[in-house]
């Protein structure tokens, strides 16, 4: 009778316990058959463990995006005894009224002239203010430029007046060109939807080809600011990098993002190789690179890297889900990782100094490296390989402890990259090299303006006006006051 209480992870131990009985068998044929079956069982056991691991792979223990994790209904919570909405003592939030000189129109309303008792109501100078925000009728301003012909009185040669340099040669002005670029990038609208919005909102009929030509115009204008941003990023000492897939005419390509000092640049390349990373960072890069453990960054020395601890945490969780010694190693690694983040958050909110943090991290670092070394002797080959790979670049785990401005995770790069990932899911990639180049440039503007809390539409409007008027194009580089305001050095006070 088969014991149904035996679990798959108990099979190796059960087979070991049966060895004395198997050795006692005298029939060589029977012993050979049993040993063959044991080999088959061990092979199948490993296959089962691998399949279980694949089945349980999700965004918590791998690099899979959260959208791929199947939905699981949460446990039913106990119904709260509190009423809906704000609780007693909660400070409400109200919109501040604009000053009277900032409103467009003031309408004064008088009380009734007669009271319900029959008396006359006298209007006083006291009043209550109520403001209503409304969208005025939208009408596009159309300017017709009439170019007159002229004829020479002597030779009858004809001349035609030329458009001023500040006038676009197409039908769309600077602000409408900027709006098309903003809607298609920051608001992730398809070309068809942009054309439909223009028809519904502005009563202006444009075709998809017009939208495409507008994007090409904007792309050419953005060339200079984007190149300036790329050179700026190469000069920075602390950068973060990440990459994701992209499709151009159905062919697989790769989108790379590099972020430094609130400037984010995108590049879409045919490969995911180290050559692209070198072109983005500069072959002579000697700063500190925040990234995951992807091999394209291995040309950067370990002492010049900061491996993302959010990725390491997922690796440790994967290890903890394996049976045997791997489970114990993974759980201990997760414990020290959580402890490390607990101390780091205190540094971020100013409740712990960097010196105190460094002292606490000495013991945590020692324990994590000891556990990783133990993992290199684990029976599970995947656990062994992961620990070996991490130990090869162990110097890259701790730069955030000693260097101000370096963070333990690569979250900023992943957050910025998510913008173009969402665009890709909605718009299904690009269909030409020029479309890919436009996407690089316009998403560089979108990501950088968001990091600096600047208006994407405002930047694009300024760029298009400056281009038409022959003025200096606006820059994507942040000024020093903005840098100090938005991105203070974490734990700068010792």
Is the CB of residue 214 less than 8 Å from the CB of residue 182? no
Q: Is residue 115 part of a domain?
A: no
Q: What is the pTM of this model?
A: 0.80
Q: Is residue 87 part of a domain?
A: no
289 and 319 share one domain:
no
Is the CB of residue 378 less than 8 Å from the CB of residue 465? no
pLDDT given at position 67: 63
Angstrom distance (rounded) from CA 386 to CA 384: 6
Query: Where among 395, 418, 433 does a domain terminate?
Result: 395
Angle, alpha carbons 269-270-273 (nearest 5°) = 80
Q: Is residue 285 part of a domain?
A: yes
350 and 224 share one domain:
no
Radius of gyration for the chain, computed over Cα atoms and rounded to the nearest angstrom: 33
CATH code (residue 462)? 3.30.420
- Other residues' Cβ atoms within 10 Å of the Cβ of residue 436: 21
Q: Is residue 480 part of a domain?
A: yes
Q: Is residue 176 part of a domain?
A: no
Q: Which residues of 208-234 are buried (b: 16+ CB within 10 A; e: fewer)?
A: eebbbbbbebbbebbeebbeebbebbb
SS3 46: helix
Q: Is residue 479 part of a domain?
A: yes
SS3 298: coil
pLDDT given at position 45: 74
Paired with 120 in beta bridges are: 114
Is the CB of residue 289 less than 8 Å from the CB of residue 297? yes
328 and 466 share one domain:
no
Q: At what angle do helices 208-235 and 274-281 cross, to 10 degrees?
A: 70
CA dihedral 203, 208, 212, 213 (to 10 degrees): -60
Query: Where among 362, 395, 428 does a domain terminate?
Result: 395
Establish how many alpha carbons lie within 13 A of residue 44's alpha carbon, considering only the half-sphere containing its beta carbon: 8
341 and 474 share one domain:
no
What are the mean pLDDT values of the chain's consecutive 10-residue runs (494 residues total)?
Answer: 59 71 75 79 76 72 66 65 79 85 93 91 92 89 92 91 89 94 95 94 93 95 95 94 93 95 95 93 91 93 94 93 90 96 94 94 95 93 94 94 93 93 90 94 96 95 93 88 43 33
Secondary-structure breakdown of the chain: helix, strand, coil percentages, each rounded to the nearest 5? 50, 10, 40
467 and 419 share one domain:
yes
Query: Where among 395, 420, 439 does a domain terminate?
Result: 395
Q: Is residue 333 part of a domain?
A: yes
252 and 296 share one domain:
yes
326 and 347 share one domain:
yes
Angstrom distance (rounded) from CA 218 to CA 473: 12
Angstrom distance (rounded) from CA 428 to CA 292: 26
Number of domains within the chain: 2
Angstrom distance (rounded) from CA 128 to CA 294: 63
pLDDT given at position 184: 95
| Residue 238, H or E segment | strand 238-248
Give the residue carrying structure tokens 């020029």: 434
Is the CB of residue 441 less than 8 Å from the CB of residue 463? no
Is the CB of residue 270 less than 8 Å from the CB of residue 247? no
Token readout for 234 is 């190469």
300 and 334 share one domain:
no
Q: Is residue 331 part of a domain?
A: yes
Q: How many residues does the chain have?
A: 494
The whole-angstrom distance between residue 386's C-alpha and the CA centroid of its chain comes to: 26
281 and 419 share one domain:
yes
pLDDT given at position 24: 74
384 and 452 share one domain:
no
Q: Give me the domain span that covers residue 367.
A: 311-395
320 and 465 share one domain:
no
Give the residue carrying structure tokens 């151009």: 248
293 and 425 share one domain:
yes
Angstrom distance (rounded) from CA 233 to CA 262: 10
pLDDT given at position 176: 95
Token readout for 169 is 């040669």
């Amino acid at each position: 009778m088969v014991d149904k209480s035996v679990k798959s992870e108990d099979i190796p131990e059960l087979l070991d316990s049966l060895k004395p009985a198997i050795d006692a068998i005298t029939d060589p044929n029977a012993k050979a058959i049993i040993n063959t079956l044991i080999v088959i069982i061990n092979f199948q056991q490993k296959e089962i463990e691998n399949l279980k691991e694949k089945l349980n792979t999700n965004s918590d223990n791998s690099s899979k995006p959260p959208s791929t994790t199947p939905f699981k209904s949460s446990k039913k919570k106990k119904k709260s005894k509190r009423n809906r909405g704000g609780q007693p003592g909660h400070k409400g939030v109200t919109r501040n009224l604009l000053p009277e000189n900032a409103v467009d129109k003031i309408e004064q309303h008088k009380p009734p002239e007669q009271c319900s008792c029959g008396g006359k109501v006298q209007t006083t100078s006291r009043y209550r203010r109520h403001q209503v925000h409304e969208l005025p009728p939208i009408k596009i301003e159309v300017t017709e430029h009439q170019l007159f012909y002229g004829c020479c009185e002597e030779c009858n040669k004809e001349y035609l007046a030329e458009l001023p340099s500040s006038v676009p040669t197409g039908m769309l002005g600077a602000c409408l060109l900027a709006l098309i670029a903003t809607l298609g990038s920051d608001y992730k609208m398809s070309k068809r939807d942009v054309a439909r919005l223009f028809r519904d909102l502005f009563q202006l009929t444009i075709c998809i080809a017009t939208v495409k030509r507008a994007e090409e115009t904007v792309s050419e204008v953005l060339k200079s600011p984007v190149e300036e941003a790329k050179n700026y990023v190469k000069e920075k000492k602390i950068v973060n990098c990440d990459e994701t897939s992209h499709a151009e005419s159905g062919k697989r390509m790769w989108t790379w993002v590099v972020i430094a000092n609130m400037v984010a640049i995108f590049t879409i390349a045919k490969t995911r190789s180290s050559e692209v990373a070198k072109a983005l960072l500069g072959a002579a890069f000697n700063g500190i690179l925040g990234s995951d453990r992807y091999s394209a960054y291995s040309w950067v020395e370990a002492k010049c890297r900061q491996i993302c601890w959010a990725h390491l945490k997922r690796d440790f969780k994967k290890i903890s889900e394996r049976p045997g010694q791997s489970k114990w190693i993974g759980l201990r690694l997760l414990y020290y990782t959580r402890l490390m983040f607990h101390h780091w958050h205190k540094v971020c909110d100013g409740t712990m100094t960097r010196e105190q943090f460094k002292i606490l991290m000495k013991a945590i670092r020692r324990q994590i490296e000891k556990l990783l070394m133990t993992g290199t002797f684990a029976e599970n080959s995947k656990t062994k390989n992961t620990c070996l790979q991490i130990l090869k670049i162990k110097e890259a785990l701790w730069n955030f402890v000693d260097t101000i401005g370096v963070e333990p995770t690569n979250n900023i790069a992943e957050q910025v990259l998510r913008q173009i990932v969402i665009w890709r899911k909605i718009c299904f990639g690009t269909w030409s090299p020029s479309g890919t180049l436009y996407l690089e440039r316009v998403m560089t503007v979108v990501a950088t303006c968001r990091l600096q809390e600047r208006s994407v539409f405002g930047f694009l409007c300024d760029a298009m006006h400056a281009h038409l008027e022959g003025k200096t194009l606006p820059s994507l580089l942040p000024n020093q006051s903005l840098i100090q305001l938005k991105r203070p050095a974490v734990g700068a006070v010792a």
